[in-house]
Chain A
Amino acid sequence: MKLPGLAETFLTEVGRFFQMLWRVLLWTPRPPYDLRELTRQMVRVGVDSLPVVLLTTLFTGMVMALQTFSTLKRFNAEAYVGSLVALSMVRELSPVIASLLIAGRCGSAMGAELGTMRVTEQIDALEVLATDPIHYLVVPRVWATVLTLPLLIVIGDAVGIAGGYLVSVVYFGANPVTYMANTFQFMDLDDVTSGLIKAAVFGLIISVVGCQKGYFTRGGAEGVGRATTRAVVLASIAILIADFFLTKILF
């Protein structure tokens, strides 16, 4: 039987996640508040991920338009391509796809960085220097990711919609004015905010999982590699699972 083992792994990882999250929440309100480190991490997550997010959301929007245009044309419903692209981007695709990429980029970086610090005893050194490593290393990373991801996703939303516009108007020759009108016709602010709530939750998952894997790394360079891989794999799976439940709750 393979399932009990899998279930055990799942429960262990969920437990580890909430344990780390709890420690982060516990340490967050305690001084000193290191705003410089928070900003530094926000730059690393935000600015440095921007090109990747722009590229993926642009192409996702373009592909969405390509796919839906030819499909909806069969029902003479190509007028709704704009709404479809916009709503799918804002509610689902932009948060999920961008978050998966950021898990690969930032989650792995956190795993590798903290993992290296662990195996070279830098985390022990922090403790010895009267500094709690969770407070010093994990808290700023988690909050930076939670705060930055929604900002990235807003930009991703806009770029994805622009990608859809580009394909529909330039390639399929749709009327630009009706396309734009159509894009925003059925969209509420709720659609955008719920996408952003998703983004914040995914940010939490990416950073907590990444830091947790890195923090508890064991066994030298190989261990760091393992931590990094697990950080990405687990965060990605968690994002997809969380996405289902968030969608259920939010819409």
Chain B
Amino acid sequence: MPASSTTKIRLDQVSKAFGDKQVLDRLDFEVYTGDSVVVLGGSGTGKSVLLKHMIGLLRPDSGRVLVDGTDLATLDERSITGFRRRFGMAFQEGALFDSMTVFDNVAFALRRAKRSPREVAERVAACLEMVHLEGAERKMPAELSGGMRRRVGFARAIALEPEILLFDEPTTGLDPVIKAVIDELILELQDRLRSTAVTITHDLGSAFRIADRIALLFRGRIVAYAPPEEFRQLEDARVQQFIRGLASGPLTE
């Protein structure tokens, strides 16, 4: 639990539909400063959509997304670009620029922020060290394994020391050992950067390892939100079905 529970990100009655599929339905959610929040939910329940709203990649049909009290909808194309420097986002498969080396990938944001070449080199080295990938600078993304690609994605996301870290399914499709490594890394990064972290996953093990608070997304709303120990004890049938991994229950009705 954070010492002071000020709100960092706040979603206020956010709705979003794609075609006639209502993905987010008047969703309310709050992320407190310094927290590591995990949002759980089945595949295709709109977890990524939720995450992309927090950083303004998607705009809500109705409702508001507030970051530090600023409504993202009030920012125009240019100011949102500057605003995003406060975020670092790691994508599902890394989403590395495949025409660039690892070094250039991690250096991307630094160069755009007009850091000097020496600063860029130092910071890239530091970021790669933080994700335990020293010496991979000259490699191309295609030469890396899935786990390594994601770690480079992390390094790229933390280059500008963001206040908010977003992780989109960081462990999906990885083996258990690498999963644990990635989880540890998330905690380590969050701790070292003192940032707020939001992680989207359907992996319970990860969730309990890294979360200060766990939320469950179901039918476009957050239906449960509690610290891990409390979350485990919640009597909500949907939470229990998810935790026990049962085929039948309210989630699958």
Contacts and interface: CB of A to CB of B under 8 A. Distances in A.
Contacts of A177: none
Contact of A128 (B57, B92, B96): B57
A87 B117 CA distance: 53
Nearest to B108: A129
Interface string A82-108: 000000000000000000000000000
Interface residues of B, number: 24
Contacts of A122: 95-98
Interface size class of A (residues with CB under 8 A): 10 to 19
A190 interface: no
B95 A129 contact: no
A185 interface: no
B142 to A, nearest CB: 12
B192 interface: no
Interface stretch (B79-87, B204-212, B222-230): B79-87
A121 B81 contact: no
Nearest to B84: A130
A121 B93 contact: yes
Interface in B114-159: 156-157
Interface string B160-195: 000000000000000000000000000000000000
Contacts of A129: 84, 108-109, 112, 156
A127 B91 contact: no
Nearest to A122: B95
A130 B112 CA distance: 8
A124 interface: yes
B95 A125 contact: yes
B52 interface: yes
A40 to B, nearest CB: 10
A19 interface: no
Nearest to B162: A128
A132 interface: yes
Given A128-B55, A132-B77, A120 B109 contact: no
A120 B95 contact: yes
Interface string A109-140: 00000000100111011011111100000000
A125 B55 CA distance: 11
B184 to A, nearest CB: 24
A127 B84 contact: yes
A124 B81 contact: no
Contact of B57 (A32, A120, A127): A127
B197 interface: no
Contact of A130 (B81, B98, B156): B81
Nearest to B82: A130
A122 B113 CA distance: 19
A121 B82 CA distance: 20
A128 B89 contact: yes
Nearest to B88: A128
Between A124, A125, A127, A131, the greatest number of chain B beta carbons within 10 A of the residue's beta carbon is seen for A125
A132 B57 contact: no
Nearest to A26: B77
Nearest to A23: B77
A33 to B, nearest CB: 13
Interface string A150-162: 0000000000000
17 contacts: A117-B97, A121-B91, A122-B95, A122-B96, A122-B97, A122-B98, A125-B89, A125-B97, A125-B156, A127-B57, A128-B57, A128-B84, A130-B81, A130-B84, A130-B113, A131-B81, A131-B108
The 8 closest A-B pairs by CB, nearest first: A121-B95, A125-B95, A128-B89, A129-B109, A130-B84, A121-B91, A130-B81, A130-B85
